Structure 1
């Protein structure tokens, strides 16, 4: 009878230890899941920020293209004006020289 009681106590102790280990594992799993959730949230926030930055980059590139186009148009207009101003004075080299100097 004592042997049975000892065996029962040993089994109960073994069960209690197993339950403690299971509880610890469950707690670790909850903590790991919480860290995973937090990391996923950070990833989503970073992805959103990346998307915003990419959108801003697209906008800036578009604005740059527009500015370059306007610059090219202005440079062509300036060149045309220079040509218009220089042609009438082509017979007077002194005038052409002073206009070139003035226009840069």
Structure 2
């Protein structure tokens, strides 16, 4: 009879230990699932940010192309006008020696 009681106690202890391990494993699984959900949410958030940054990059590159095209136009226009063609005359005194407000701009075409 003692042998049966000892065997029953051993089996009960083994069952309790198995239940404890099962509960611990279930909790670890829940924790792992929670971490996985958080990681997936963060990945979605980062993917959204990447998409926004890519869109901003595309817009900025388009603006850069437009500005570069305008700069090229202005540069070509500037090349057509040389420094020798523009003469700026600033007059500080009039014919009577009195100060004259303003200035005279003369553009000569070669």
> Unpaired segments of 5 or more residues in structure 1?
87-95
Deviation by residue 1:37-69 (Cα, 9 ceiling, x = unmatched)? 101111110111011101101110110001000
**Which structure dedicates a bigger proportion of its chain to helix?**
1
Higher Cα radius of gyration:
2
Query: How many residues in Structure 1 have an aligned counterpart in Structure 2?
Result: 90
2-structure distance, mates of 1:3, 1:79: 110
Output the aligned Cα RMSD: 2.3
Work out which structure has the larger RCO, using CA pairs closer than 8 Å and 6 or more positions apart in sequence.
Answer: 2
User: TM-score, normalised on structure 1?
Assistant: 0.76
Post-superposition, which runs of at least 4 consecutive aligned residues in structure 1 deviate over 4 A? Answer: none
Correspondence for 2:22: 22
> Unpaired segments of 5 or more residues in structure 2?
90-110
**Which structure dedicates a bigger proportion of its chain to strand?**
2
